[in-house]
Amino acid sequence: KKKEWAKLKDDPTKTADGEHVELAANIGTPEDVAGVLNNGGEGVGLYRTEFLYMGKNQLPTEEEQFDAYSSVLKQMGDKPVVVRTLDIGGDKELDYLDLPKEMNPFLGYRAIRLCLERDDIFRVQLRALLRASVHGNLKIMFPMIATLDEFRQAKAMLEEEKQKLIEEGQDVAESLEVGMMVEIPATAVIARQFAKEVDFFSIGTNDLIQYTMAADRMNERVSYLYQPYNPAILGLINNVIEAAHAEGKWAGMCGEMAGDEIAIPILLGLGLDEFSMSATSILPARTQLKELSKQELAGFKDEILSMGTSEEVVAFVKEKTNQT
């Protein structure tokens, strides 16, 4: 099986009916890029920048960040690299920020919420990213956006830093896509309004599922509620993809679900444009997609979305795609 996958390393991802979708990888450090390329990744769909901030006792400097971002961009050449700005808080703590303990860290002061308030930290990252943007095909996305106002504020700060750099005589990429993660249900519900202002969406199902089902993603006792194929989740995902396409934008997914064998046929049928997963899942996914017809799967959309349970969805998909 491994040999068969390897043959597809340099092939574009094509479905049985000739449709292309992008298979990208999730990474955490510049050292991960070699694995992405060895596994035939067409891009980086999620670069989690938290690791630059973790495991040390102070914030990373602009220069350290510039080096890391540039390294990833250069290694990827003209392939797209989606960098997510700092997503700290929740399960990821930074001791040196000395943040007060919260009752519900996953619902608390984290990610973009923290960055908009601590813009001294945020602007350093934005500057490093903008300076690195000339070294490849960079796209930036903001995590944990809940409201349009947050997205606008974050984008305005990015724009301000860009203007400052230009005034300082620094090179910055002329155009740069700016998107957001969809991981809070509120944004999936009114995705159409967001789609007018973003360049792309990347659906973060790890959090989207936990927030939609009100089930802690790390709590074993409620793990039965962590249901990627629940029609409620699929309906939100469908909303996001439809909204993006209605505004001429693209929609990707960077949660674990994007690399899942049962989810892939569903997501293909819903029209997802980019699937970002762990590097080792890329070749198996490309192999699976070769056998799937996007048009046929799109025809099942209404039926799947009107189902009542996750189990029904799974049984249906297995039957239609001959999975046992």
The minimum distance between CB 170 and ligand PEP, in angstroms, equals 30
E strand or H helix at 180, and its extent?
strand 177-182
Taking the complex as a whole, how short is the minimal distance between the CB of residue 204 and ligand PEP, in angstroms?
A: 3
| Residue 21 site contact among ligand PEP, Mg ion, none (CB < 5 to 8 Å, cut-off depends on kind) | none
Name which of Mg ion, ligand PEP, none residue 44 binds, using a CB cut-off of 5 to 8 Å depending on partner kind.
none
SS3 assignment, position 8? coil
Residue 287 near residue 4 (C-beta atoms within 8 A): yes
Residues 6+ apart with CB under 8 A from 3: none
Q: Which does 292 bind (CB under 5 to 8 A by kind): ligand PEP, Mg ion, none?
A: none
Q: Per DSSP, what are the bridge partners of residue 181?
A: 202
Half-sphere exposure in the Cβ direction for 251 (13 Å, CA): 29
Closer by beta carbon to ligand PEP, 46 or else 68: 46
- Output the CA–CA distances (angstroms, integers) from residue 294 to 214, 268, 272, in the order listed: 32, 6, 10
Question: How far apart (Å, rounded) are the C-alpha atoms in residues 254 and 121?
Answer: 25
Q: Which CB atom, from 73 or from 209, has the smaller least distance to ligand PEP?
A: 209
Q: Measured in Å, how far apart are the chain's first and last C-alpha atoms?
A: 17
Task: Return the number of the residue (161 or 183) whose C-beta is nearest Mg ion.
Answer: 183
Query: 254 contacts which partner out of ligand PEP, Mg ion, none, CB within 5 to 8 A by kind?
Result: ligand PEP
Name the minimum Å distance from CB 167 to ligand PEP: 34
Q: Which is nearer to Mg ion, 90 or 265 (CB)?
A: 90
Q: How far is the CB of 206 from Mg ion (least distance, A)?
A: 5
Residues at the interface with Mg ion (CB under 5 A): 183, 204, 207
| Contact partner, 227, from ligand PEP, Mg ion, none, Cβ < 5-8 Å per class | none
Query: Which residue ranges make up the site for ligand PEP (CB under 6 A)?
Result: 46, 48, 87, 183, 204-207, 254-255
Nearer to Mg ion, 48 or 131 (CB): 48
The CB-nearest residue to Mg ion is: 207
- CB 149 → Mg ion: shortest distance, Å? 20
Distance in angstroms (rounded) separating the CA atoms of residues 256 and 277:
6
Do the Cβ atoms of 233 and 272 come closer than 8 Å? Answer: no
Quick one: what does residue 48 bind among ligand PEP, Mg ion, none, with the CB cut-off 5 to 8 Å set by partner type? ligand PEP
Of 204 and 259, nearer to Mg ion (C-beta) is: 204
Segments in the chain forming alpha helices (H): 2-7, 33-38, 50-53, 62-76, 111-117, 119-132, 148-167, 185-189, 191-195, 205-213, 231-246, 263-270, 282-290, 294-298, 301-305, 310-320
Q: Which is nearer to ligand PEP, 8 or 88 (CB)?
A: 88
Minimum distance, C-beta of residue 205 to ligand PEP, in the bound complex (Å)? 5
Q: Tell me, what DSSP letter sits at residue 280?
A: G
Q: Please choose which of Mg ion, ligand PEP, none residue 282 contacts, taking the beta carbon within 5 to 8 angstroms, the exact cut-off set by kind.
A: none
In angstroms, what is the C-alpha Rg of the chain? 19
